[in-house]
Amino acid sequence: MAKFESMAIDDGETVLDRFRKWETERRDTVYLTQPLPGGSAVDYTWGEVGDQARRMAAHLRSLGLPPGSRIALLGRNSAHWIIADLAVMMAGMVSVPLYPASSAESVRYALEHSEAELLLIGKLDGVNDNWTNIRDKLPPGLALLGLPLSPRPDIPQWNDVIERHAPLAQIHAPRLDELATIVYTSGTTGQPKGVMQSYGAYTAAFLAILRSGWWDTRPTARGFSYLPLAHVAERTAVEMASLAFGYRVYFADSLATFVDDLKRARPTIFFSVPRLWTKFHLGVNEKISPPLQKFLFALPLVGRRIKHKILAGLGLDQVHLAFTGSAPLTDALVHWYRDLGLELLDVYGMTENSAISHTSLPDRLRIGTVGRPQAGVQARIADSGEIEVRSPAQMLGYYKQPGISAQQMTPDGFFRTGDCGSIDTDGFLTITGRIKDIFKTLKGEYVAPGPIENELIAHPRFQAVCVVGAGLPMPFALLMLSVETRQALATAKLDRDALVAECDALRERINAQAAAHERLQFLVVVKDDWSTENGMLTPTLKIRRDAIERHYLPRAAAWAGSGQTLVWET
């Protein structure tokens, strides 16, 4: 992985300052590439992006709203998601990005809590998002505007609106301490909290990744955006980084076209999550069996060609910077990608610090950890075992919740993350779970479910897992099978007895290395999908432990009494 030359950026520059630079210097250079249904794609240059954003900013100003008014944005990733975000900033207003997979109740809560004056509705279809449930529960009277690819042709449309306005010549010049956005956390318990981030946090975020020395800041760099832009990690790693460093961003049209869209982009920077890294791996294994891979990879010339062909087939042959986050990867998977020539770097961060906390880097990589603090970040472990972080990209606080904001901060300015972990003598951070997830068994012994769940979710048969057992003699695990496994069972490509044997072997392996009070008594295959709409998952697909426990724990005694090591919920 090559090291790239650092770019000169002043500490006082905002993201709008950086955009104006590229709008002037690279006016005719393509910035955003949006695929369309049918396989075609449309390119938007820096100049075109600026023109459309300035025209929409002029429209927002014409509405007579006071500076700092909240403008909400709901839609899957698209070129116009970023253009709309720029327009909100240019108009001097505050963006409220909403997860398209959120429950209808969460979306309505965020819109009402933030006092949004306008909702920009972007790319949605009700298949790859939750639009079908959201659309009928929007607050009555809320002004709406449709972006290109919006499912609402009956409301004012982006293209029509910008035709009526000249580009705004004097765009807003924000202060670094000025509120830029309110990002509602996915919320594993209770209502989501509105994290207030400033323009200074945006600047601190792109300066931190720049000063790491490994970010691809070349004009020829290419990013690929498919994780929700409403999530702070994607917004920082894709939108803010591309605006700061001036490189091109591609988007995915749908899950069905994902690989083709990725091949079109051939990104140099790629940020993903363990589920996709695992899916790529399983897809390769279906075409080339692991024993054959081992044989072919060992051949000097043939091995190099095969590895390159695999990466090219995934669209990842040009990647110089590959990040993974949100959950740990198995050592075996990390080594498999490393053998292909792709170093997966773990990152750690939270909405409250713009995802600027820890990262692994090629010259300081320790598998099993999330690396060391990024530039300007300090971290420590409290006496309780909680990870505390002070980041230059820290939030201003939670919107309308000063009491909770104060509770989350230590007197000397560290954010209480809620995660527990350890820091070794070289500064590498290992995360062991969430403090609030730890529960006591009937005997009063504490169980940390995180490490056990990490072992389970690494198995390709499972899409989501949850270890529970508060007040029970022994813990047990709830398993939601992957789509592929359910299809294989339905078509008799996978025998149920074979799956039972796999699960038993996995449980025995986990129990062999666990303390006696942490051993799993049995596993349960749940019959229903966990989703955002039924409240079992957050919009970022994390489990809502309290909701899962309320639903399943009442049946624990009956399952334990059955004497089965693998229970199929009926």
Tell me the CA distances in angstroms from 129 to 55, 138, 233, 532, one per residue in order. Answer: 29, 16, 19, 10
Strand partners, 255: none
pLDDT value of position 532: 80
Q: CA neighbours within 13 Å on the CB side: how many for 35?
A: 24
Q: How confident is the model at residue 5 (pLDDT cuts 50, 70, 90)?
A: low
The token pair that represents 516 in the structure block: 């006696």
pLDDT tens sequence across 441-476: 888 888 989 889 988 988 889 989 999 999 899 999
Tell me the CA distances in angstroms from 405 to 95, 113, 232, 376, 400, one per residue in order. Answer: 20, 16, 18, 22, 9
pLDDT for residue 570 is more than 80: yes
Cα 273 from chain centroid (whole Å): 7
What's the one-letter identity of residue 312?
A
* Per-chain mean pLDDT for the chain: 92
pLDDT value of position 189: 56
Domain borders along the chain are 438-568
pLDDT value of position 80: 98
SS (H, E, C) 375-428: CCCEEEECCCCEEEEECCCCCCEECCCHHHHHHCECCCCCEEEEEEEEECCCCC
pLDDT for residue 481 is more than 80: yes
Lowest mean pLDDT among 15-24, 70-79, 484-493: 484-493
Show the beta-strand stretches assigned E in 226-383.
248-251, 269-272, 321-324, 344-348, 358-359, 372-373, 378-381
The token pair that represents 361 in the structure block: 């880097």
pLDDT value of position 554: 92
361 vs 31: which has the higher pLDDT:
31
Could you name the CATH architecture of 438-568? Answer: 2-Layer Sandwich (3.30)
Pairing relation of β-strands 194-198 and 179-184? antiparallel
* Beta-carbon count within 10 A of 220 CB: 9
pLDDT tens sequence across 49-67: 999 999 999 999 999 999 9
147 vs 439: which has the higher pLDDT:
147
pLDDT for residue 182 is more than 80: yes
pLDDT tens sequence across 225-239: 999 999 999 999 999
Residues 345/359, Cβ–Cβ less than 8 Å = yes
Distance CA 346, CA 324 (A): 5
Residues 6 or more apart whose Cβ sits within 8 Å of residue 542? 186, 188, 326
